[in-house]
Amino acid sequence: MEFFTPVIEGFGTVLEPGNLLYCFIGVLVGMLVGVLPGLGPSATLAILLPLTFGLEPVTAIIMLAGIFYGAQYGGTITSVLLRLPGEASSVVTVFDGYQMAKQGRAGTALGVAAIGSFIGGTAAIIGLTFLAPLIASFALDFGPPEYAALALLGVTLVATISSGNKVKALIAAALGVFLAMVGRDVFTGTERFTFGNLSLGDGIDFVIVAMGLFGVGEILYNLEERHRASAPPKKVAHVWPTKNDLKRSSGAIGRGSVLGFLLGILPGGGATISSMAAYGVEKKIAKDPSRFGKGAIEGVAGPESANNAAATSSFIPLLSLGIPANATMAMMFGALLIQGITPGPLLVSDEPELFWGVVNSMYIGNILLLIMAIPLIGVFVKVLRVRPAILAPITVLITLIGAYTVKNSVFDLVLLVVFGVIGYLMKKTGFEPGPLVLAFVLAEMLESNVRRSLLLFEGELSSVFTRPITVSLLALLVVVIVLPMIRTLLDRAKSRPADKEEKGVHV
């Protein structure tokens, strides 16, 4: 019963009028953000970080969390109606969602996506409620060696588990680690990579990096993509699915919810990988896989349930261990630091009002999401007609104002533009900015805890192997590095006999 006391008190926190209002605002803004290609939850959180300065910590995080899971559904609307994913996690929804729209079933696709998002998100919140405090209590035994191993594992997982080119992800992560080293050494006070610039003495501000890469860089890149979109339909009808549609999609929703929850916990995982994995599972177990890509409702229900479940479960490593699982969680990490709160094992016991207020706000937010999703589809269709030439300059202006208000520094504006250009070039050349931001966040934790460990063991690295948790994390690190190599070798071994058979046939 003691466990449920703070949980119930958390509902009291979120049901305060101010917090309830900001929860509603967050979900609504998140849905709008998902609808507008060129913006995403990472970009929006980066842009809005300075605006949270004047809010209470719990209120600020409730709003930002609402933006995150609201955007997961918003991205579905453009995937179905325009064949243009509003979010990376909505890419696979394009395959069958757009085909359903062409068949006059756009409303059904969006309705099933809303229901799947609600069920997946709610299931993940229940898991978060019970699992996060358990992990946090376990993590209280962590010292500098354990945190160093955990941070190293997180940086590695960013590259090995994330979608896209692994080598490019590693390069981006290495750049993030380098940028985190800029500034004065915390232990010795020595300046590193400042090139005599006093403005770099305190290091590069996380908010500036995030706003540049995601705010400016993403907008510049997606301006090109937006022009390739087709015109949205004038009307979307039959939004509520039939009994047959619900029956066919129920299994996919259940499987997607479980898969999304599990993959969302992994650093480097999250909504994008979860939605792709859910689509692959549904296609593999289907009696007729040829239906996929031609309007199979399971191809919408599974991924949409998975991405919302993953969006929620990615809060578990952030709140319980202080490790952001993906780029958007890195923004949330920054927002907590701005509010003077350090995420980690002590958050549950030291800040129960914030922890349970944020967790319970997700129950309310998911209900609001379901209530608003279907009636507001017509409004979102109109929003899709906003010209990029109008939207992009306004967004960039807001970003510049937000960056300046962080320190009232013109130099920060210069850095913002530089990181905006870097973010744009990264996207153009196939480099995802996510690994860079995650590595930037984890690098400080990695360096400080490695050096504290060396001081603790007086330079004797062999002492690390006397700590069971550290050894377990390092063993997991080795598995993460070696497993993809083994998989690649096995794939090559399988392909060789096939190549030989083909050559034999030609001969």
Using CA atoms, how far apart are residues 323 and 312, in angstroms rounded to an integer?
Answer: 14
Q: For residue range 203-237, list pLDDT tens digits in order.
A: 888 778 877 887 778 777 767 665 555 555 555 65
Residue 81 has pLDDT above 70, yes or no: yes
Domain map (residue ranges) of the chain? 3-492
Average pLDDT, integer, range 165-180: 84
pLDDT score of 291: 85
pLDDT score of 348: 80
Q: For residue range 260-295, list pLDDT tens digits in order.
A: 888 887 665 566 678 877 888 888 888 888 888 888
Percent of the chain with pLDDT over 70: 82
What is the four-CA torsion angle of 481, 135, 44, 369, rounded to 10 degrees? 120
Q: For residue range 430-480, list pLDDT tens digits in order.
A: 887 777 877 887 788 788 888 888 888 877 777 777 888 888 888 888 887
Residue 4 has pLDDT above 80, yes or no: no
Write down the number of H helices and E strands in the chain: 22, 2
For 221-235, 284-298, 348-362, 491-505, which range has the lowest pLDDT when averaged over its residues? 221-235
Residue 289 vs residues 73, 108, 251: alpha-carbon distances, Å: 25, 21, 15
pLDDT score of 254: 92
Higher pLDDT residue, 89 or 80?
80
Q: For residue range 480-491, list pLDDT tens digits in order.
A: 778 777 877 887
Average pLDDT, integer, range 383-404: 71
pLDDT classification of 13: cutoffs 50, 70, 90: confident
Taking a C-beta distance cutoff of 8 angstroms, is the pair 156, 169 a contact?
no
Average pLDDT, integer, range 153-179: 75
Q: For residue range 405-425, list pLDDT tens digits in order.
A: 667 788 888 888 899 899 889
Q: How far is CA 208 from the centre of its chain?
A: 19
Residue 163 has pLDDT above 60, yes or no: no
Average pLDDT, integer, range 34-46: 67
Name residue 191's beta-bridge partners.
Answer: 184
